[in-house]
Amino acid sequence: MVKGIEKYGLPVVHMATVVPISLTIGANRIIPGVGIPYPLGDPTQGEVDSKKIRKRMVRRALKALQTPVDGQTVFEKDDF
């Protein structure tokens, strides 16, 4: 799906827990998800903190979308 969309020239940030699969299928901008049952957030830490985690990850996604990449890039940290 990532490639199908990106070939129209739209930047796609793939937020996925299983980064190896994301790399295999060919996503170019990748942000590791928290876990398969909850990629954006961590409900085991309570709703408030879970939402904070989600917001930080979405901010990182926006930043990744504004960042030029040469090839497949995994954005592991907020600072890049």
Indicate whether 77 belongs to the interface with another protein (CB under 8 A): no
- Joined tokens for residue 51: 């939402």
Question: x-or-dash pattern for another protein, window 19-48, by CB under 8 A?
Answer: xxxx-xxxxxx--xx-xxxxxxx-x---x-
Residue 43: strand, helix, or coil: helix
Span 51-70, contacts to another protein by CB under 8 A: 51, 54-55, 57-59, 61-62, 65-70
- Taking every pair of Cα atoms in the chain, the longest distance, rounded to a whole number of angstroms, is 39
Among candidate residues 75, 73, 72, 44, the one with its CA nearest the CA of residue 58: 75
> Footprint of another protein on this chain (CB under 8 A)?
1-22, 24-29, 32-33, 35-41, 43, 47, 50-51, 54-55, 57-59, 61-62, 65-71
